[in-house]
């Protein structure tokens, strides 16, 4: 016989951005808890609102499955003493398993007998196992937590109630001074406390007090209501997924409505209007059928449609206050001169250990010049890059960015164009922030991409130089994101710049404000980001082989990793890799670098390998380079079959090791083949 289990944790208002992840974590922890405790189940369903996290287990077994385990102990000769009695080793072994020596039997393994005991544990009733649910709830982890009242334990928010129902039976347990029951809370204003009668009636019981416990159902209600408004008003509404996720976690009973604002505010840049509505008020943007922004918005109320007119007026009033700010800053910022703002950046701190924003820009400018040479920008592009690097942070001191910090770069572009700056300069000012997230959009212009690279490189090197290095999950200055941005930009533009040379060149630069330090740690950090971008789709050994190559050029490394994955599926891969690996391992024995002397060759196989290495021309695609190296396999095999590399003759040995070393140098420009696993 199976039953259904419901667990609901009632809390103070949860941060919207943490609810979805917390709901998933609760479901995952419950699944793990039941599996570890040998309680079978059919399905797990999770629920969440701003004031609760819940999980329902359907088809839960009424009893644990029985457990039978075999344990291997010491060998018979250790288990028995000279008189044939069980030794202390045997007695200690069975005691540790909660058994006695009477339970011992001997089993033969590969000609020798060993002690074995079999432990049987009868399954407990589900009610007994479920008493440990408070421990499951304690194990939930959160990015933010707090303690309250006299409670020293920290949790995401204060706990108000706990329900644990097995069908209609309420199980008694304590969690953070809260006793479980069947009481849940309805909507803060429309509902009241209510009892959940049965695990299966959870959603309906809460719906009666204006709570939609199922987040997916709440989301669909919001979408359907917005689509209904679209149809009536003949408009288009942008349902941004991130905003939708946030809104559904702010409400327990959603009602969407449309509000309006004066058309005069449409003269403000669209980005300002959207930011005011979306980021500050959690409103959805409304456009006409041609895609033109309209003086309207969609919001979602936490409640029903009673007195909705008053709600609309209130929301319109709040938005107009934001738009008034935007209009004011837009007008006032245009009176400012870029040169004056740049001068003031000398007094703005980038970081107290690093210096001012002005000094950060100067260092970025020098790095950008080096990159311009490497990438071979045109004269016009270099001119735009130089100008952009001199002014690209000026908008941080405008009133608009001070009020709407998410518009940095965007407003810089607009103000730069209004001030008569070249379009390429203005675009670079906007694009230097990109990508702003792990998988966000990248710069599209070369000038913007180079400025973004230079800015991120100085940020990375500066923070590492003063010892502000990420550790564990702690990365307060988003250096991992910046470095991932560097890697993604290099890959997207196909810029095969040697990272070793680039970083070394940065360390050769001298500044009055800062001296770069910790070069080795910077390179390791960049390698880790390249490894991260290759991801789990690339086997670990291939990632290691590519990262250990002598050619740290990001686009080539990523291409090589994929080419090795494809090559590994071919029959020739195992033999070619193993023979190249043998060459790698032997070449490590070369004590002193010497030139290969063909006069010392004693057989045709040495000569053939030498000529094949000389003929290598590792250009073209990664797949073509790998194919060239793998084509040497028969020649390498013949060399090893007919040549004693570790000869007693020191001159011959050194010459043969040098020959293999020359092969390794060529191969290592592609990958460290000795890191590959062929088993």
pLDDT in tens, 450-468: 999 999 999 999 999 999 9
Q: Is the dihedral of CA 438, 444, 449, 451 positive or negative?
A: negative
Give me the pLDDT at residue 109, please.
85
Give me the pLDDT at residue 176, please.
86
Q: CA–CA separation, 43 vs 66, rounded Å?
A: 21
Give me the pLDDT at residue 71, please.
87
Scored b (16 or more CB within 10 A) or e, 104-129 reads beeeeeeeeebbebeeeeebeebeeb
Exposed, middle or buried: residue 304 (CB in 10 Å: 0-12, 13-18, 19+)? middle
- Residue 376 Rama label (left phi>0; alpha psi -120 to 50; beta): left
Residue 412 reports pLDDT greater than 80: yes
Give me the pLDDT at residue 124, please.
87
Average pLDDT of the residues of the chain? 94
Residue 344 reports pLDDT greater than 80: yes
Q: Band of the pLDDT at 139, cuts 50, 70, 90?
A: very high
Q: What average pLDDT does the segment 355-382 reach?
A: 96
Radius of gyration of the chain (CA): 34
Q: CA–CA separation, 408 vs 394, rounded Å?
A: 10
The region of weakest confidence among 20-29, 42-51, 73-82 is: 73-82
Residues 74 and 115: beta-carbon distance below 8 Å = yes
Dig out the tokens for 230 from the structure: 């679209």
| 236 phi and psi angles, rounded to 5 deg | -115, 135
Place of tokens 């995952």: 28
DSSP-derived secondary structure letter, 394: G
Which stretches within 234-274 are classed as H helix?
241-248, 270-274
Q: Pick from 567, 547, 568, 508: which is nearest to 670 by CA?
A: 547
β-strands 169-170, 293-302 pairing: unpaired
Which residues are registered as beta bridge partners of 356?
Answer: 349
Q: Using omega within 30 degrees of 0 as the cis cutoff, is the peptide bond preceding 435 cis?
A: yes
Give me the pLDDT at residue 3, please.
94
Q: What average pLDDT does the segment 211-240 reach?
A: 97
Dig out the tokens for 203 from the structure: 């959603």
pTM for the whole structure: 0.82
**Model pLDDT for residues 498-535, shown as the tens digit of each residue:** 999 999 999 999 888 899 999 999 999 999 999 999 98
Dig out the tokens for 567 from the structure: 């090559």
Which stretches within 494-593 are classed as H helix?
499-508, 519-534, 540-547, 554-567, 573-587
Q: CA–CA separation, 308 vs 82, rounded Å?
A: 92
Give me the pLDDT at residue 104, please.
85
Give me the pLDDT at residue 538, please.
95
Q: CA–CA separation, 475 vs 459, rounded Å?
A: 13
Query: How distant, in Å, are the alpha carbons of 126, 336, 429 from that of 327?
Result: 63, 15, 22
Q: CA–CA separation, 407 vs 229, rounded Å?
A: 29
DSSP-derived secondary structure letter, 648: S
Dig out the tokens for 500 from the structure: 């070793």
Query: How distant, in Å, are the alpha carbons of 91, 112, 118 from that of 86?
Result: 7, 17, 17
Q: What average pLDDT does the segment 410-422 reach?
A: 97
Residues 182 and 197: beta-carbon distance below 8 Å = yes
Q: CA–CA separation, 22 vs 215, rounded Å?
A: 12
DSSP string, 5-55: EEEEEEESPPPHHHHHHHHHHHHHHHHHHHHHTT---SEEEEEEETTEEEE
Residue 340 reports pLDDT greater than 90: yes
Q: What average pLDDT does the segment 468-484 reach?
A: 91
Q: Band of the pLDDT at 203, cuts 50, 70, 90?
A: very high
Give me the pLDDT at residue 472, please.
80
């Amino acid at each position: 016989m199976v039953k259904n289990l419901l667990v609901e944790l009632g809390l103070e208002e949860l941060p919207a951005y943490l609810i979805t992840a917390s709901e998933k974590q609760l479901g995952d922890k419950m699944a793990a808890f039941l599996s570890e405790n040998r309680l079978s189940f059919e399905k797990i369903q999770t629920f969440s609102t701003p004031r609760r996290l819940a999980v329902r287990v359907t088809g839960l077994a009424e009893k644990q499955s029985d457990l039978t385990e075999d344990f291997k102990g010491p060998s018979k000769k250790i288990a028995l003493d000279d008189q044939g009695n069980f030794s202390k080793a045997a007695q200690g072994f069975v005691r540790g398993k909660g058994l006695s020596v009477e339970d011992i039997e001997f089993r033969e393994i590969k000609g020798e007998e060993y002690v074995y005991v079999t432990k049987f544990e009868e399954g407990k009733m589900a009610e007994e196992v479920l008493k440990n649910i408070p421990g499951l709830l304690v194990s939930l982890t959160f990015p933010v937590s707090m303690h309250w009242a006299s409670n020293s334990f920290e949790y995401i928010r204060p706990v108000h109630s706990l329900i644990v129902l097995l069908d209609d039976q309420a199980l008694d347990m304590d969690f953070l001074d809260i006793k479980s029951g069947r009481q849940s809370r309805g909507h803060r204003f429309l509902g009241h406390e209510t009892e959940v009668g049965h695990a299966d009636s959870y959603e309906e019981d809460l719906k009666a007090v204006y709570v939609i416990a199922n987040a997916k159902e709440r989301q669909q209600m919001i979408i359907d209501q917005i689509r209904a408004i679209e149809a009536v008003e003949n408009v288009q509404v942008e349902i941004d997924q991130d905003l939708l996720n946030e809104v559904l976690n702010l409400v327990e009973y959603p009602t969407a409505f449309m509000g309006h604002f004066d058309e005069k505010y449409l003269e403000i840049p669209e980005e300002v209007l959207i930011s005011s509505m979306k980021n500050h008020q959690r409103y959805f943007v409304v456009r006409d059928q041609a895609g033109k922004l309209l003086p309207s918005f969609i919001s979602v109320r936490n409640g029903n449609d009673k007195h909705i007119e008053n709600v609309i007026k209130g929301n319109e009033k709040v938005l107009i206050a934001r738009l008034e700010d935007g209009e004011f800053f837009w007008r006032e910022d245009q009176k400012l001169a870029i040169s004056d703002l740049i001068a003031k950046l000398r007094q703005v701190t980038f970081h107290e250990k690093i210096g001012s924003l002005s000094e950060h820009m100067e260092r970025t400018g020098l790095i950008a010049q080096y990159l311009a040479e490497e990438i071979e920008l045109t004269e016009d592009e270099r001119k735009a890059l130089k100008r952009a690097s001199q002014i690209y942070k000026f908008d941080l001191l405008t009133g608009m960015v001070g009020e709407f910090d998410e518009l940095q770069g965007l407003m810089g572009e607009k103000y730069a164009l209004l001030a008569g700056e070249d379009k390429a300069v203005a675009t670079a000012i906007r694009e230097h922030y990109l990508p702003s997230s792990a998988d966000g959009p990248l710069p599209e212009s070369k000038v913007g991409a180079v400025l973004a690279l230079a800015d991120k490189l100085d940020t990375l090197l500066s923070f590492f130089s003063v010892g502000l290095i990420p550790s564990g999950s702690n990365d307060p200055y988003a250096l991992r994101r910046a470095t991932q941005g560097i890697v993604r930009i290099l890959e997207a533009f196909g810029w095969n710049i040697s990272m070793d040379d680039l970083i070394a060149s940065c360390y050769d630069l001298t500044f009055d404000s800062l001296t770069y330090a910790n070069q080795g740690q910077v390179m390791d950090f960049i390698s880790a980001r390249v490894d991260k971008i290759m991801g789990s789709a690339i086997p670990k050994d291939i990632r290691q082989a590519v990262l250990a190559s002598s050619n740290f050029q990001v686009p080539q490394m990523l291409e090589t990793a994929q080419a090795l994955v494809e090559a590994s599926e071919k029959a020739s891969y195992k033999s070619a890799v193993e023979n190249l690996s043998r060459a790698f391992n032997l070449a490590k024995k070369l004590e002193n670098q010497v030139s290969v002397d063909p006069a010392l060759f004693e057989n045709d196989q040495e000569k053939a390998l030498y000529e094949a290495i000389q003929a290598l021309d590792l250009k073209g695609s990664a797949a073509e380079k790998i194919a060239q190296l793998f084509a040497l396999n028969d020649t390498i095999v013949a060399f090893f079959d007919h040549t004693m590399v570790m000869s007693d003759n020191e001159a011959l040995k050194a010459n043969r090791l040098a020959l293999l070393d020359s092969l390794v140098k060529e191969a290592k420009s592609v990958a460290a083949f000795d890191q590959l696993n062929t088993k």
